[in-house]
A and B are shown apart, each in its own frame.
Chain A
């Protein structure tokens, strides 16, 4: 027995939709190759029906996730970082294969991605103080603005940065209480599909993040036209596709994030700031009357 060669157990990469790991409804897969052209694995080639199912899952998860306290969302995002730390080696390998990086450079990417989860975990219960607050108004009113999540956000993950870029676009969307349908990098989807496994074990409710792999243009088109998607992040779309999607998205007035300038590669390692947090927030403003209640002298 001992001289027998052991057969490697290959991993079947699957989608992450509604907290489960389905294959593509279409049954299709495509070959994923590394930077030198060697075959790495087969990834599901999602269809528009997978996109539709993902939107249903994201919509179902939205109420509960948005209704959670910001503090709890922060804890869960931090938990994602904890889980990633434990599977660091796997992600370093996958990122190195996907992007053709040396082990040390891939390690730096993964470390930065883990730190990014922690960064956004800290922001969950602070963003409302930054973008909300009391407004001075000329009248006997308290006037309070609070940010609320936009809803279901379709996220086209960056094509080049398969992991750090991916985390940098997912984390801010869910930190504020949105749910996300993410289209992984078309060329290197494996780190994204593995991230699904991490999210599934991080107390993140099923459906808050849904990850699809496949042809970006094929999946993004129905998502951009989908009437039950509230916003779309076009980071991973090229110039031509972004224009098409923007037109389709206008139909139900989707909130849109289209990073500029598109021809200049984004430096994902840089300080992300808060603009991705605020991109998918709506502002609710409440007017509350002040003043005395008649003769008794008591007031609101």
Chain B
């Protein structure tokens, strides 16, 4: 509520006091009326206390999660994994293997939950779809000239439509970081809304900001709001293709953004940290961040995901350790 009233005071000129969610959404629609109103709104967002943010993320990372809580966290984390392969060398065989693994991550223990989705390039969507057929595992496809996003808008939209037509349940788009950094916020906004439209009603849209390229925490907060205003179903940290990917600090910042956005508009948006999360310990740290920042509403694979590939093996080894009491090894999980 505190955050809510702070924003309300600050943007009293721009937004009318919302009484119900739809009113608020309509009120925020004024924000995107022109480039200048959008800029005024995004630059009016409170600045990020970088030291405080990192200290908070680090202190939450020291929580000790053991025994039954750990078992719960590991199963939850497995169910949140977007099992990803985004290589130039992806073959249909590799994607099929990945799909099989997503459905039954540990064939020796059928009580292991399935992962949330497999994440592939658009041309592999049909293969992936076939591989996970009959299960609840979704197929996510990156699109919009992933990972750079440097292509004409027509090409990006065609990319999205192809993926949706092939059966993708989720689209992971990249924003035009060049336009964002140049301050052309409305261009980025329009692009996201166009992609959202191309997704139609069948596919959920994840918007990747590539936080490692946005330079500052303030920019990450602005991008988060911009993405959510434009209709993102999920906001996602990174492509996994640059040096700095998901960190606890930038994920915490995005979690705060979705929390504040829901408080203001009533619309819930998911968060997906991606890249660089390799160990169960890391994954559990992120789950602590989720629980402490946005609460249990987000502790579900409909609202929180991990974009990862090697993470799953570590989760499975930890799971085997908890089940048997023996340390497991890489010989007992698949080589991806």
Contact = CB atoms under 8 A, between A and B. Distances in A.
Pair from one complex: yes
Interface of A: 52, 55, 59, 222, 225-229, 251
A228 B330 contact: yes
Main secondary structure of the interface of B (DSSP, over half): loop
B325 A228 contact: no
A76 B300 CA distance: 53
Secondary structure of the A contact surface, majority rule: helix
Contacts of A226: 326-327, 329
A57 B326 CA distance: 18
B284 to A, nearest CB: 15
A227 B325 contact: no
Contacts of A251: 326
23 contacts: A52-B327, A55-B327, A55-B329, A59-B330, A222-B326, A225-B325, A225-B326, A225-B327, A226-B326, A226-B327, A226-B329, A227-B320, A227-B326, A227-B327, A227-B328, A227-B331, A227-B332, A228-B327, A228-B328, A228-B330, A228-B331, A229-B329, A251-B326
Nearest to B325: A225
| Nearest 6 pairs of A and B residues by beta carbon | A228-B329, A225-B326, A227-B329, A226-B327, A227-B328, A52-B327
A222 B330 contact: no
Contacts of B329: 55, 59, 226-229
Interface string B209-250: 000000000000000000000000000000000000000000
Contacts of B327: 52, 55, 222, 225-228
A259 to B, nearest CB: 25
Given A225-B325, A226-B327, A227-B332, 16 more contacts: A55-B327, A55-B329, A59-B329, A59-B330, A222-B326, A225-B326, A225-B327, A226-B329, A227-B320, A227-B326, A227-B329, A227-B331, A228-B330, A228-B331, A229-B329, A251-B326
A255 to B, nearest CB: 15
Interface of B: 320, 325-332
A99 to B, nearest CB: 33
A59 B330 CA distance: 10
Contacts of A228: 327-331
Contacts of A229: 329
A27 B325 CA distance: 23
Contacts of A225: 325-327
A74 to B, nearest CB: 29
A225 B327 CA distance: 7
Contacts of A227: 320, 326-329, 331-332
Nearest to A224: B326
Contacts of A222: 326-327
B223 to A, nearest CB: 36
A227 B320 CA distance: 10
Contacts of B330: 59, 228
B171 to A, nearest CB: 37
